[in-house]
Structure 1
Amino acid sequence: MNHTARPARIAVLASGRGSNLQCLLDGIATGQLQAEIVGVFSDKPAALALQKVPSERRWARLPRDFESREAFDLALGDALDACAPDWIICAGYMRILGTDLVQRFNGRLVNIHPSLLPLYKGLHTHARALAAGEAEHGASVHFVVPELDAGAVIAQARVPVLAGDSPESLAARVLQVEHPLLLASVQLLLSSRLTEQGGVIQLDGHSLFSPLRLDSAGTLA
């Protein structure tokens, strides 16, 4: 007897408006992703991302209400465990995850970052790219490790830096490629074709020594 595989369970960490979360929800609604969003977790109770899922799938706490960073991470980790996610996607989550939390979910944590890693880890990536005179900028999807924005990069999308760009105009152009990049990367993760071993991405059993790139059709190659 054939059984339909259950949808993958995805938890999302977000601190802002949730545009990348909406991209995942749209992918699920159109059948591009065989998945369900089992919870949205935030360090900002007012984050608009939380409003995109029913109240029973929301978890938000202010870090300052906890006695330590470790106590907040423990509460977040317990809440994540309670929804039994297959994958945890950091989509605009602006708080650094502690080592214990990362190790607790090792191999299941993925982040989308607005730069062409390893360039411009951390914040203010668009302004820093402009200040450096870069000809290209973009976004990366990578596995999360304890070191900031240092995990193995799965895929990247690139945009040109144009004359007269401001950090805001460049950010808007990057955001346009972030959504298809995240969707294509999550599709690949859910296919079980892609894994990470020892800091190296494996695709169909073969090591990738440079990130996959998103083409104009929204396909990774």
Structure 2
Amino acid sequence: MHTQNIVILISGRGSNMQAIVETDIPGARIAAVLSNRTEAAGLAWAAERGIATDALDHRHFADRTAFDQAMMQKIDAYQPDLVVLAGFMRILTLEFCRHYQGRLINIHPSLLPAFTGLHTHERAIEAGCRIAGCTIHFVTPELDCGPIIAQGAVPVADNDSADDVAARVLKVEHQLFPRAVADFVAGRLKIKGNRVINAEHRAGTSELLA
């Protein structure tokens, strides 16, 4: 199997990045971990494990387009087969999304299409949802609306806080994200229209995991 280069983008501690790195994914090589925050804790974690790291502070750029263009140059230096957004807290430009079309995936802490954007767990609780979860999807220019690769659901109890739900969902994220990356590397994910078809019905199947 051809080894595929994976570049992971983070903005903080990168717990999903860590879950991917610590999973033995056949045919995958974590080429680099990059961030828009020089102080992101996940950079030190990756560097300690011999992974190339770099950061570009988005606050030092005139606008979103300038930052994205500079980040694309950083990413492309590693010849990525797949770019993984693992808690990368940036809204991406059309140019960025198109440049990595079909090889850019994200994880979002809700059961899309519900609760796009921020504060997902607070909004789920306020709406009276009895389940919450996460979604892994291909990235398109429309925020949090790309073809869905995988979803995992957890129950929401009567007295749960947003932090309670977040902790429960994060455990599911750590299970599903490495599997989705493995399915991409193995060529199991195919896009048909706006749907992802998974030949083995693994990461592409919604699951109640808690």
TM-score normalized by the length of structure 1? 0.88
Provide the rounded CA distance (Å) in 1 between the counterparts of 2:88 and 2:192. Answer: 25
Provide the rounded CA distance (Å) in 2 between the counterparts of 1:50 and 1:101. Answer: 22
Question: Counterparts of 1:4-153 in structure 2 under 5 Å?
Answer: 5-28=1-24, 32-54=25-47, 57-153=52-148
TM-superposed deviation, 1:103: 0.3
Counterpart of 1:176 in structure 2 is: 171
Question: Residue deviations 1:105-154, cap 9 Å, x none?
Answer: 11000001100000000100000000000000000100000010000111
Q: Secondary structure at the residue paired with 1:192?
A: coil
5+ residue gaps, structure 2: none
Provide the rounded CA distance (Å) in 1 between the counterparts of 2:123 and 2:140. Answer: 23
Question: Residue deviations 1:17-40, cap 9 Å, x none?
Answer: 111011011103xxx443111111
Question: Residue deviations 1:64-112, cap 9 Å, x none?
Answer: 2112211100000111111001101100111111110010111000001
Q: Number of aligned residue pairs: give it.
A: 206
1:50 aligned partner, one-letter code? L
Q: Secondary structure at the residue paired with 1:142?
A: strand
Provide the rounded CA distance (Å) in 1 between the counterparts of 2:51 and 2:5. Answer: 15
Provide the rounded CA distance (Å) in 2 between the counterparts of 1:134 and 1:16. Answer: 28
| Contact 1:181–1:214, Cα closer than 8 Å, also in 2 | no
1:27 aligned partner, one-letter code? T
Provide the rounded CA distance (Å) in 1 between the counterparts of 2:179 and 2:51. Answer: 28
Provide the rounded CA distance (Å) in 2 between the counterparts of 1:151 and 1:205. Answer: 21
TM-superposed deviation, 1:205: 10
Provide the rounded CA distance (Å) in 2 between the counterparts of 1:56 and 1:142. Answer: 25
TM-superposed deviation, 1:62: 1.3
Provide the rounded CA distance (Å) in 2 between the counterparts of 1:86 and 1:122. Answer: 27
| Contact 1:155–1:181, Cα closer than 8 Å, also in 2 | yes
Q: Secondary structure at the residue paired with 1:212?
A: coil
Runs (4 or more) in structure 1 with deviation over 6 Å come to none
Q: Secondary structure at the residue paired with 2:116?
A: coil
Q: Secondary structure at the residue paired with 2:92?
A: coil
Percent same amino acid at aligned positions?
Answer: 41
Q: 1:197 to 1:76 in 2, by over 3 A?
A: farther
